[in-house]
Chain A
Amino acid sequence: MGATLAEKIIARATGRSVRPGEIVTCKVDLAMMHDSGGPRRVKPILERLGAKVWDTDKIVVISDHYVPATDADSAAILELTRKWVSDNAVARFYDMQGICHVVLPERGHLRPGLFVVGGDSHSPTGGAFGCFMFGIGATEMAGVLVTGETWLRVPETIRIDWSGQLGPGVCAKDVMLALCARLGMDGGDYQVIQYTGSLIARLPMQERMTLCNMATELGAQTGLIAPDPITASAVAAAGGGTIDPAEWQGDDDAHYRETLAFAAAELAPQVALPHSPANAGPVDAVSGERIDLAYIGSCTGAKLADLRMAAEVLKGREVAKGVRLLVAPASRRETATAASEGTLATLIDAGAVMMPSGCGACAGYGFGVLAENEICISSTARNSRGRMGARTAQVYLASPYTVAASAVAGRISDPRELMGESA
């Protein structure tokens, strides 16, 4: 029997062929940490063990959770991060350059076939580049930093196949919300979710990143998309060099736990009700609900592609009176591109307030959090109670299209209604 793509990457990292269910130790090609779970937490462990970092060239540190500092506590965490990076001569340090899951591929660090760990739960985002990349906690990260290795139980692969084309105003975020509703928050069962099908073959890289990013919300260990010419162009454009997609494909006779098939054309814009992404359904069910805040941010929902979706809806329109639209682009570089191409001007003209590139309000760490009983529609990945601020706040999750349309209406709205008419 052949091997899936995930099994091939794990086999390469452990040095022999593998079967699902086996526990194997793998050599780590790259370890990525951020300011919250990184130096701040691994430094005391390394000191206690009297151990040094195995290979500083295989480490990337990115500050994104507490940037820019909002108080003395966050400033101290950032200072510690900068000092640790300097003391340990870590060359690949991106300070306030954006959210780790977007900065890592943007700077050419991801290529198909790599075995990568990240100190953050949305690390499966890297699967869009054909990497086996998953999230770990700080103690495990300390173990990786000392040994250059980690263990895992070889996961099975669940194939999720989307055929056809998405309609106007519908995007990868809607695909993921629909899957959360269908499979539940543990439907991924800590296995690999590999996305396939004619829809995926046409999706641009940033939309693929959204699919893999939210494999986390399905409870998968990681998400994965086999590399193709779109992957090769993205890797080359980021300075990651030339890759051969044919090198990293699953075998035709590989075993999949199951294959679930969906038709893209039937999908309507989705909205997840408070307080779980699994509470998703077509926007119709909740359209008309009043909102206080529309939030476009995070690794899930503020990449350049997401900003463009919002701009497409907001062009020539204005945010409704009494509603705040906050936009925190996922990286500084993407902010620059959005500025030069005019996307940023469209957002600002419509009334958006621009925020720093970072995790921001998504996990309640940064600016823009919610007061008691406020209602928000957000392009982020999670809406558990209290995550974005006050415990009684209500957070709805949706695509950048739907968040932008709702900002204009002041109420949760189907973006197709606005997109069908000229402004």
Chain B
Amino acid sequence: MTQAGKAWVFGSNIGTDQLAPGLYMKRPIDEMARHCLEDVDPRFAAEVERGDVVVAGRNFGMGSSREQAAQALIHLGISAVLANSYGGIFYRNALNLGLMVLISPDTDKLHAGDRIAVDPERGIVRNLTRDETWACEPLPAHLTDMVRAGGLVPYLERKLAHNKDQSS
């Protein structure tokens, strides 16, 4: 189970242009992250706290292949995203960068500010504010491991180091 975080609730079709606005694509990620979702909720980047959870409807992360969309959420300390569905490229990018993205049909049961914890392996979402529990699609163990390692690159680094240890 992840540590509980506060829910930020968004609608459907939140795109990469909102998550990582083109205007800041040339700039470092800390600057980009300050503008993450500002078109949808100007308070988000300023008030989000480490461990908070992003909750959305259908097709979260639709649009561009830019990884900064997932990277900005990671930079802001988002512990998990819960959505009905994802843009295909964003979904792969998020896992590759170490952002926990989970699929749940029940995101409309969550309210902004609810305290949420998730168990990705068992596919459980717990709403501590309302004392409710429901299911999300579990993430396969190897992907959970990759996300916990911080994404594909640190995961591969660790595996390569492990292989080297075993062969020496």
- Chain A residues with CB under 8 Å of chain B are 36-37, 41, 45, 48-49, 65-66, 71, 73-74, 77, 119-121, 123, 135-140, 142-143, 185-186, 190, 216, 219, 221, 276, 278, 363-365, 382, 384-387, 389, 391
Judging by beta carbons under 8 Å apart, are A190 and B39 in contact? no
Judging by beta carbons under 8 Å apart, are B65 and A386 in contact? no
Chain A to chain B: the 7 pairs with minimum beta-carbon distance, closest first: A190-B88, A364-B22, A137-B93, A186-B59, A73-B26, A384-B17, A139-B96
Nearest to B140 among chain A residues (CB) is: A23
Given A121-B65, A363-B25, A384-B63: 10 more A-B contacts, CB < 8 Å: A37-B66, A74-B26, A119-B65, A121-B16, A137-B89, A137-B96, A219-B88, A384-B18, A386-B21, A386-B23
Q: What 1/0 flags go to B85-126 for Cβ under 8 Å of A? A: 101110011001100000000000000000000000000000
Kindly provide the distance from the CB of B38 to the nearest chain A CB, expressed in whole angstroms.
8
Q: Which of B22, B85, B89 contacts A121 (CB 8 A)?
A: B89
| Given contact pairs A49-B157, A219-B87, A219-B88, A363 touches B67 in the complex (Cβ within 8 A) | no
Kindly provide the distance from the CB of B16 to the nearest chain A CB, expressed in whole angstroms.
8
- Chain B residues with CB under 8 Å of chain A are 13, 15-18, 21-23, 25-27, 39, 58-59, 62-67, 70, 85, 87-89, 92-93, 96-97, 151-153, 156-157, 160
Q: Which residues on the B side are within 8 Å of A77 (C-beta)?
A: 26
Most buried by B among A48, A186, A190, A382: A186
Kindly provide the distance from the CB of B149 to the nearest chain A CB, expressed in whole angstroms.
13
Docked pose: A121 CA to B63 CA in angstroms: 7
Judging by beta carbons under 8 Å apart, are B93 and A140 in contact? yes
Kindly provide the distance from the CB of A298 to the nearest chain B CB, expressed in whole angstroms.
13
Judging by beta carbons under 8 Å apart, are A364 and B67 in contact? no
Docked pose: A88 CA to B67 CA in angstroms: 23
Docked pose: A142 CA to B67 CA in angstroms: 12
Could you list 22 A-B pairs, sorted by A, with CB under 8 Å?
A: A36-B25, A37-B66, A120-B64, A121-B64, A136-B89, A136-B92, A137-B65, A139-B96, A140-B152, A143-B152, A186-B58, A219-B59, A221-B88, A363-B17, A364-B23, A365-B22, A382-B15, A382-B17, A386-B39, A387-B22, A389-B23, A391-B39
Docked pose: A391 CA to B22 CA in angstroms: 12
Q: Which residues on the B side are within 8 Å of A137 (C-beta)?
A: 65-67, 70, 89, 92-93, 96
Kindly provide the distance from the CB of B34 to the nearest chain A CB, expressed in whole angstroms.
15
Q: Which residues on the A side are within 8 Å of B26 (C-beta)?
A: 66, 71, 73-74, 77, 365
Q: Which residues on the A side are within 8 Å of B18 (C-beta)?
A: 384-386
Q: Which residues on the A side are within 8 Å of B66 (C-beta)?
A: 36-37, 137
Judging by beta carbons under 8 Å apart, are A186 and B65 in contact? no
Q: Which of B17, B67, B96 contacts A387 (CB 8 A)?
A: B17
Docked pose: A389 CA to B156 CA in angstroms: 39
Kindly provide the distance from the CB of A348 to the nearest chain B CB, expressed in whole angstroms.
28
Q: Which residues on the B side are within 8 Å of A185 (C-beta)?
A: 13, 59, 62
Docked pose: A219 CA to B18 CA in angstroms: 17
Q: Which residues on the A side are within 8 Å of B27 (C-beta)?
A: 73
Kindly provide the distance from the CB of B41 to the nearest chain A CB, expressed in whole angstroms.
12
A-B contact count (CB 8 A): 105
Q: Which residues on the B side are within 8 Å of A121 (C-beta)?
A: 16, 63-65, 89
Q: Which residues on the A side are within 8 Å of B160 (C-beta)?
A: 49
Judging by beta carbons under 8 Å apart, are A48 and B153 in contact? yes
Q: Which residues on the A side are within 8 Å of B92 (C-beta)?
A: 136-137, 140
Docked pose: A275 CA to B13 CA in angstroms: 11
Q: Which residues on the B side are within 8 Å of A391 (C-beta)?
A: 39
Nearest to B156 among chain A residues (CB) is: A49
Kindly provide the distance from the CB of A213 to the nearest chain B CB, expressed in whole angstroms.
13
Nearest to B27 among chain A residues (CB) is: A73
Q: Which of B15, B17, B58, B97 contacts A139 (CB 8 A)?
A: B97
| Given contact pairs A37-B66, A77-B26, A139 touches B152 in the complex (Cβ within 8 A) | yes
| Given contact pairs A48-B157, A119-B65, A365 touches B59 in the complex (Cβ within 8 A) | no
Kindly provide the distance from the CB of A328 to the nearest chain B CB, expressed in whole angstroms.
15
Docked pose: A36 CA to B64 CA in angstroms: 12
Kindly provide the distance from the CB of A46 to the nearest chain B CB, expressed in whole angstroms.
10
Judging by beta carbons under 8 Å apart, are A120 and B15 in contact? no
Kindly provide the distance from the CB of A358 to the nearest chain B CB, expressed in whole angstroms.
13
Judging by beta carbons under 8 Å apart, are B13 and A186 in contact? yes
Docked pose: A197 CA to B145 CA in angstroms: 46
Docked pose: A73 CA to B93 CA in angstroms: 24
Judging by beta carbons under 8 Å apart, are A139 and B25 in contact? no
Judging by beta carbons under 8 Å apart, are B59 and A382 in contact? no
| Given contact pairs A49-B156, A139-B153, A365 touches B25 in the complex (Cβ within 8 A) | yes
Judging by beta carbons under 8 Å apart, are A186 and B17 in contact? no
Docked pose: A74 CA to B58 CA in angstroms: 34
Judging by beta carbons under 8 Å apart, are A363 and B156 in contact? no
Docked pose: A100 CA to B32 CA in angstroms: 25
Q: Which residues on the A side are within 8 Å of B152 (C-beta)?
A: 139-140, 143
Docked pose: A276 CA to B39 CA in angstroms: 14
Nearest to B21 among chain A residues (CB) is: A386
Q: Which residues on the B side are within 8 Å of A49 (C-beta)?
A: 153, 156-157, 160
Judging by beta carbons under 8 Å apart, are A37 and B67 in contact? yes
Docked pose: A49 CA to B66 CA in angstroms: 21
Nearest to B69 among chain A residues (CB) is: A137
Q: Which of B13, B58, B65, B151 contacts A276 (CB 8 A)?
A: B13
Kindly provide the distance from the CB of B68 to the nearest chain A CB, expressed in whole angstroms.
9
